[in-house]
Amino acid sequence: MALPLVKSAVACTDFTRTVQPYIPQLNTLPQQIYQSATDLQALRELYLSTNPLISAFAFSLALVPIVLVISEINRNYSQIDRIWSLLPTFYNLHYVAYAHAKGLPTQRLDSLAIISLVWSARLTYNYWRKGGYQIGSEDYRWKIVKDYVNSPILFFVFNIAFISLAQSLLLFSVTMPTYVLLLAGPVTKAQIPDIIFTQVLIGWVFLAYVADQQQWDFHLAKGSYQKSAKVPPSSRYTAADLDRGFNTKGLWSLSRHPNFLAEQSVWLTLYIWSCWATGTNYHWAGLGAAAYLFLFQSSTWLTELITAGKYSDYKMYQNRVGKFVPSLWGEGMPSANAAGKKEK
């Protein structure tokens, strides 16, 4: 049996009943896939007879050697970055497809699938327009980390353990609450709060889109200004704003990373949704969201360390504006002109 027999919403979050019994499937899955590789019907039967969480986990593990080898051959460590915006939606669609194939209620999952596709479209588009899919493109932070480690062997170990393995598992783990929602489908009916959760998720995706667009507009104006020494006529920014080097307008006047706030909130909201659907305050599937929050804390720390070294006003920005959540007692950034006068 690929799915546990659960008779209550709370039982859907019991790790010993919904996950642990299916872990041994990992041992035989590779051989079964190999034996069924040329038989589509056999593959379909294998897919349906394997617990969907286990098959998703197995896929995330299978990706590790692929991205590891590609990254080492090309000496480019942004291989996971290129599929970051695709993998969570792939896993969510997998759960939706599995539920449909099994004839399970899918109202929640169908709504989530649509939102997840929109989330992927936004993030993929933003990554593409910044040149992320260009040959040779790499996150500038990997070079800094590599120089800091200053050891090919240690960085190779880091590539195995974190860049390739941990990040792949992370993108699987943030969708674990979708598995819980799948299990909850037959025992709890969709209600008005489910609609509210979908609207909140849409709101976070929209907030991330607006933040990304504002950042894009700023850097377009900044690039044009640096080339021509003239502020673009259609720009909302002044010469002083562009001379400062980083965006402090719009959402960026309230949060230093409004896009990161929205990105983290998407997966945190999904987890909270699964808690509500199962009538629990917390459960094991929240580990993915917690790991996601931890990753953003550490990566943002590195990003800001680099940014503060490039722009003299950035430390003032850090003191006055909240990192993610807007500060109720923060002073906000003064206008660039006012800051310049004060320094003089």
- CA angle 206-212-213, nearest 5°? 90
| 313 and 339 Cβ atoms separated by less than 8 Å | yes
pLDDT at 6: 94
- Residue 7: which H helix or E strand, with range? none
Q: What is the DSSP string of 269-288?
A: HHHHHHHHHHT-S--TTHHH
**How many residues are recorded in the chain?**
344
SS3 17: helix
Gyration radius of the chain's alpha carbons? 23
Query: What pLDDT score was predicted for residue 330?
Result: 67
Q: Looking up tokens 């692929």, which residue turns up?
A: 66
Please list the ranges in the chain whose pLDDT falls under 50.
Answer: 338-344
> Token pair of 272, please?
């909270």
Geometric angle at alpha carbon 175, from 172 and 179, rounded to 5°? 115
Which residues partner with 255 through β-bridges? 322
Nearest-5° angle of CA 225, CA 228, CA 230? 55
Per-residue confidence (pLDDT) for residue 343, from 0 to 100: 40
Cβ(95)–Cβ(108) below 8 Å: no
- The pLDDT value given to residue 340: 46
In the prediction, which pLDDT does 1 show?
82
